[in-house]
Structure 1
Amino acid sequence: MTDTHHQEKIRVVLVDDQTMIRQGLGYVIQMQPDMEVIGEASDGDEAVALVGELNPDVVLMDVQMPNKSGIDATREIMLLHPTLKVLILTTFDNHNYVVDGIRAGAVGYMLKDADSQEMLDLIRRAHQGEALFHTVTAAKALAEVLQTQQPAPDTTPQASYLLDELTDRELDVLQQIAYGYRNDQIAQNLFISEGTVKTHVHRILQKMGVEDRTQAVAMALRQQLVK
């Protein structure tokens, strides 16, 4: 049983080549009782090294940086630290960035001019294992990744086993999770109670052998369980 009074803070690493952006984001994050900035990097290479050294919970990752882009850095980081949560941070609501970010393993996408409360909400929800693609561009991009240019289907025994194991309703719920919907939204969309959604989500995670929704979506994409 963990003592909630000593809840550990969400450990955040900031990656951006602009010092002022890092300072601004860092200031807001440090003011929160439940999170802290444990490191900063100004390019993708630094980011990969820093994450290896500090093992944060969440990384805010800029896209366009010298030496190594945020997308490449995200790809490398996710291979080494598959449970880490990366939020892509960008100035532009750019379709390609979102598609590339999702493919690289990012769990979400945030515009730099987002409201600070929205940013903090995204960090907390990413930490809890939600997939967060908030903008219209992101929603379209996610749909595109799900429909086209999929990674090669996973033909391991586990993949076909999963298709047999998951019920039609569980696949419906998994599809909704892949679109980034919360439990209450999934309940409305599928005309079922929120309690039923929670039960389905729990079973899906159990059957897929994953810890959270983001990992479930990543595996579902690889195994073409969602479209």
Structure 2
Amino acid sequence: MINLIIVDDQEIVREGLKMILSLNEEINCIGEASNGKELIELLKKLSPDVILTDVRMPVMDGIATTKFVKENYPHIKIIILTTFNEDEYIFEGLKQGADGYILKDSGSKEIINSIKTALGGSILLNPKVTEKVVKALNGINSQKTNQNEEKDRLLKTLTPRELEVAKHLMSGKSNKAISEALFVTEGTIKNYVSKILEKLQVNSRTELVVFLQDMF
């Protein structure tokens, strides 16, 4: 038997979910709450296997609820109920350890399947939610690609000698150590460093090292 608690600030939603879940003999709704704070009190006396929670609630929302449950009751699975236009919550919920995201208008089979999937140790995302996640990740990857392309463009403005000095700077060498390695004066190295900082549009050696990470 799967013991479950429903958390939603709308009583009509809780009643609807209980009715849907009552159709499955393996699921037993042992409690309900209208927000995360009420759930915390319930958890002092009840031990659910799964919590089905709304994402938007007064007092304590679904994200804060997920964070609390995962920190204090990591064995309990959390499935978040969301609407199609609440994607600003999706990543935050997943970051806090949500075990699934389903849309509020999902059918009984999908809701029951999400509960069983979460208990099996897998994460279930509604296909529409998955699409949003994929698009967002593609956007992040695209942004990183653009940043790397800009870094490459700036690096190409350096002369071979400046590149050589930059590599020495990456290894943490002082101007004096670089000048000895390249058989030039320390003043010459200072001039190279100034030109490198200017060309790469950074303000200090520290920023330069961060800029050059993964570039050589």
TM range (shorter): 0.5 to 0.7
User: Which position in structure 1 is the counterpart of 2:9?
Assistant: 17
Give, in angstroms, the shift of residue 139 of structure 1.
4.6
Note the alpha carbon deviations across 1:99-130, whole angstroms, 9 max, x for none: 11101110110111011111111111111111
The structural deviation recorded for 1:85 is: 0.6
1:140-164, Cα deviation, whole Å (9 max, x unpaired)? 427857996xxxxxxxxxxxxxxxx
1:36-69 C-alpha deviation (Å, 9 max, x unpaired): 1000000110122223421200100101111011
**Cα distance, 1:49–1:146 mapped onto 2, change above 3 Å:** farther
**What are the residue-to-residue correspondences of 1:130-145 with 2, within 5 Å?**
130-141=122-133
The change in CA–CA distance for 1:55 and 1:136 in structure 2 (over 3 A counts) is same
Q: Is the contact made by 2:4 and 2:52 (CA closer than 8 Å) also made in structure 1?
A: yes
Q: 1:91 aligns with which of 72, 77, 83?
A: 83
Q: How far did residue 91 of structure 1 move?
A: 2.5
In structure 2, the gaps of 5 or more residues are: 141-216
> Number of aligned pairs?
141
RMSD between aligned residues: 2.3
Residue 138 and residue 51 in structure 1: after superposition, are their counterparts in 2 closer, same or farther (change >3 A)? farther
Greater relative CO, 1 or 2 (CA 8 Å, sep 6+) = 1
One of 99, 107, 110 as aligned partner of 1:115: 107
Question: In 1, Cα distance between the equivalents of 2:35 and 2:111?
Answer: 21
Residue of structure 2 equivalent to 1:40: 32
Match of 2:159 in 1: none
- Does structure 1 conserve the Cα–Cα contact (< 8 Å) formed by 2:101 and 2:129? no
Q: Which has the larger radius of gyration?
A: 2
| 8 Å CA contact 2:101, 2:126 repeated in 1 | yes
Are 2:64 and 1:72 aligned? yes
Question: Which 5+ residue runs of structure 1 have no aligned equivalent?
Answer: 1-8, 149-227
- State the Cα distance separating 1:27 from its structure 2 match: 1.2
- Assess, with a 3 A threshold, how the Cα gap between structure 1 residues 57 and 93 changes in structure 2: closer, same or farther: farther
Task: Return the letter of the residue paired with 2:80.
Answer: I
CA distance in 1, matches of 2:44, 2:92: 22
Q: Percent identity?
A: 36
Amino acid at match of 2:71: L
Residue pairs, 1:101-180, within 5 angstroms: 101-141=93-133
Distance 1:139 1:51 in 2: 34
Instruction: Give yes or no for contact 1:98–1:138 (8 Å, CA) kept in 2.
Output: no
Q: 2:103, 2:126 within 8 Å by CA — same for their partners in 1?
A: no
Where does residue 43 of structure 2 map in the other structure? 51
Pairing 1:30–2:34 present: no
Amino acid at match of 1:31: L
What secondary structure, in the 3-state scheme, does the structure 1 residue paired with 2:45 have? helix
- Supply the distance in 1 between the matched residues of 2:139 and 2:38 (Cα, whole angstroms): 34
Question: Partners of 2:67 and 2:44 in 1: how far apart?
Answer: 14
Distance 1:110 1:127 in 2: 15
2:27 maps to a residue whose letter is: M
SS of structure 2 residue aligned to 1:109? strand
SS where residue 53 of structure 1 aligns? coil
Report the residue type matching 1:37 in the other structure.
C
